[in-house]
Structure 1
Amino acid sequence: MYHTPLLEGKIGLFEFQVSYQSQINNHQTFCFTFMDTCTGMISSVELPIHGDVLEAILSHVPLIHLIPASHVSKSWTATVSSAFRTSTNAKPWLILHTQSYRHPYPTTTHAYDPESNSWIQIRSPAIDYVSTLRSSHSNLLYMISPSKLSFSSDPLHLTWHHAVAPKISRIDPVVSVVGRHVVVAGGAFDFEDDPLAVEVYDLRSQQWTKSDPMPEFFNQSASSMWLSVASDDRHLFVMEKSSGVTYSFNTSNNNWSGPYNLRPDHRVFYSVIGFSDARLIVIGMLGEPEDVDGVKVWEVNCNSSECKEIGEMPENILENLKSHDSFISSIDVAMAGNIAYICICSRAEEVIVCEFIDGGGCRWRSVANTVASCGSIMDKLVLTCSKVGIEELQRATRSENRRFVVKR
């Protein structure tokens, strides 16, 4: 029996709640509970529902609660998949990956689902350790060593790819998936001749090729510590966080273009980039680390490099962020779909959600990270963000030793 409410709402003077009760002859029995808000009287009725009515109900149910229903029967699996495809509520998940610095470097994973406002523990097999776990743009996890590059870019990181490391040894390069290529740039060890070297891995041929080096501008900042990246199917955008100066790399001709000034406000001292669907977004902190005046969001016209302001963090959320730290030199951002998640990884007890509204503007809110206590100061935290579909969840639940536990 599935007791968690699947759907809640209000019709006129009545508040209602729908929950799954049992399975009867391959049809689902739902319990409808109504409360008259004037009298306080509560009434319940159980009904079997199927067909279009069932699909309409399930289209409003948070994804994580659809998993039990998808295992009822083949017809239910099809109904759940159809309901998810027609749903307009799907929002990308934030996924926190915590890696211990101690041998054997175990990794734990938690996700935040904005639809159900739930934190979810993802219990999965251990990731084969190669080196320190890192993340890039929205959804790339990778580990790179002098002998091996391991990376994963599917929504729930069910699949890892392993390749021979690039020819140039690197300690902290920019790594990004651009279409069918993996671009590795900069971050070379001191003993290497070219700190700006770029190598591209073709996922089809599984071969490395050397490309034009990074622009000389990045000579003193050619590592992921100082750079923010975003990518689409053809281009990699690389921004220096402290200056906003940005270049783009085209994997079709292996050439760099730029520079582009993506710092529309002179008060910005730190900025990052990312893609919201097909839009290039800049998020910048204004003022100085000792006194952050604001956090603003701009949309970039990739043809003209013009930046249009689309939102600013509300003062109450900013003040709450500043109340925990008197010095904020950087923020960590994971972005996908219509949402950007913002936090400070050194203290991830709070996550700020910035939702981009169709037609312009942003909707902001702060979310308490109820799984923050699961980590320790001996752990490294990295963020990814991705739209998760019912197919990915079904595949994950069928995988060996992988479970999803909703945290209450």
Structure 2
Amino acid sequence: MKEQGGEGSPIHGDLLEEVFARVPLIDLACASHVSKSWEFAVSSSLVHINKPKPWLIIQTQNTTSPTNAYDPRSGTWVELVVQPSNHIKPLQSSGSSLFYELSSEGLSFSVDPLHHTWHRISSPGVWRVDPIVAVVGSHIIVAGGGAIYWDNPLTVKMYDMTTSLWSTCQSMPSILKDSTASTWLSVASNQHKMYVTEKASGITYSFSPNTKAWSGPYDLRPDPSVYFSAIEYAGDDLILAGLIGHAENVKNLKLWKINPETMESNEIGEIPAELLERLQGENSYLLSSITILATENLIYLHNTSDPSEIIFCELIEENNCKWGSVKNIVLNDDCKVGSKMVMSCGKVGIADLHTAMKCRNIKFVAKS
């Protein structure tokens, strides 16, 4: 392809933008450096024709393995080859954007879309097994988890990133004392609050860093036949995903939009039957739990115990949903037997790719 010169007319303007609309984002990051006119065409194409969509990021707990990313805009997978780090293992994820590693020595975390930038802070001082961890505005919350000996399993610690100090907050509600680990709780947070839902019952509480206190309980089961609930923020909207029926006989999966002020729900979609079968995976006779990730108007869902198929749902105008799915190419025999996968999703743009490409310890490899 020639930008100018040569025989015939060069490709430019609307035609060039249409071409770029069919090019994966990772390649557009390089194309935007060719010339000013190409940079403008790339930018215009991303704004007006084929907009970027939140990427799905998958990493195994073996941090020496490559990170893989799915770009739904082009339907392509990208491998992020990163130099080995000195991070503490195992790698964990929470919500849609947070990767972290917690030990008695400290807390390392990353919230940027591609997780190439990490921050390290001191330990919260109370050791927990599988606590809930969330970022709320400029605060990091570490709550619950399996207690050691005499420790209180409901303890809540909060780190203020502006003062670099930990503080002790109001303990988690006592009704959650038997389910304080993140295995049993679904967590969603925005800039102001953290919401915690007991997956089996739908009982929900909110936590405010400003007051260091809890509010609730709220019943987040719009349908009494929901046997499993998971929550996450999609943009400014609090979304609830609920499995209907029971684990041995799943009838449906529905999505609701929750009003954080009143905790009232509004149904926005249900999964097509063929995608529900793919979500169930090989063990189609059992679907005990799902994981939800969301950024802006895109929601990713997968079977927690068998993430071989990733379901995605794009929220469009008037509470309509556009459903689809993609095979999880990261899942292989080694991963099934070995380390657990952690996932996140985030808004990845040209600027994020340019920043990552400048890092000497990361490179991108397109995957077929």
TM class by shorter-chain length?
over 0.9
Residues 5-33 of structure 1: per-residue CA shift (max 9 Å, x gap): xxxxxxxxxxxxxxxx24557xxx9xxxx
* Paired residues of 2:197 and 2:204 also in contact (CA < 8 A): yes
Give 1:107 shift. Answer: 3.5
| Higher relative contact order (Cα pairs below 8 Å, separated by 6+ residues) | 2
- Note the aligned Cα RMSD (angstroms): 2.2
Distance 1:46 1:122, change over 3 A: farther
Out of 345, 355, 364, the residue aligned to residue 395 of structure 1 is: 355
Match of 1:167 in 2: 125
Q: How does 1:23-102 map to 2 (within 5 A)?
A: 23-24=3-4, 47-50=9-12, 54=16, 58=20, 61-73=23-35, 76-77=38-39, 80-81=42-43, 83-85=45-47, 89-100=51-62
Deviation of 1:76 (Å): 4.1
1:365-403 CA distances to partner (integer Å, 9 max, x unpaired)?
Answer: 221223323852212101101111110011111111322
Which of the two has higher C-alpha Rg? 1
Distance 1:147 1:297 in 2: 40
Please tell me whether residue 221 in structure 1 is matched to residue 183 in structure 2.
Answer: no
Between the aligned partners of 1:202 and 1:382, the Cα distance in structure 2 is: 25
3-state SS, counterpart of residue 405 of structure 1: strand
* Alignment partner, residue 293 of structure 2: 334
Q: Equivalent residue for 2:108?
A: 150
- 2:99 pairs, out of 141, 152, 160, with 141
Cα distance between partner residues in 2 of 1:231 and 1:365: 26
CA–CA distance in 1 between the matches of 2:333 and 2:66?
Answer: 9
TM-score, with structure 1 as normaliser: 0.84
User: In the alignment, is the contact (CA less than 8 A) between 2:61 and 2:92 conserved in 1?
Assistant: no
Q: Identify the residue that residue 327 of structure 2 maps to in structure 1.
A: 368
- Give the structure 2 partner of residue 303 of structure 1: 261
Deviation at 1:138, TM superposition (A): 1.0
**1:64-107: CA deviation from partner (whole Å, max 9, x where unpaired):** 2312202324664465345535566221111111123xxxx524
Number of matched pairs: 366
Change (3 A) 1:301 1:46: farther
Equivalents in 2 of 1:375, 1:152: separation in Å? Answer: 26
Name the SS for the 1:372 alignment partner: coil
1:87 and 1:198 map into 2 onto residues whose CA distance is 46
**Native 8 Å contact 2:301 2:312 kept in 1:** yes
**Does residue 348 in structure 1 map to residue 310 in structure 2?**
no
Partner of 2:246: 288
**Superposition pairs of residues 227-306 of structure 1, within 5 angstroms:** 227-306=185-264
Larger mean Cα displacement after TM superposition, 105-114 or 286-295: 105-114
Distance 2:348 2:91 in 1: 21
Asked if 2 retains the 8 angstrom alpha-carbon contact of 1:246 and 1:259, the reply is yes
Stretch deviating more after TM superposition (189-198 or 324-333): 189-198
Shift of 1:53: 6.4
Share of identical aligned residues, percent?
A: 42
Residue number in structure 1 paired with 2:69: 111
Is the alpha carbon distance of 1:137 and 1:47 closer, same or farther for their aligned partners in structure 2, counting shifts above 3 Å?
Answer: farther
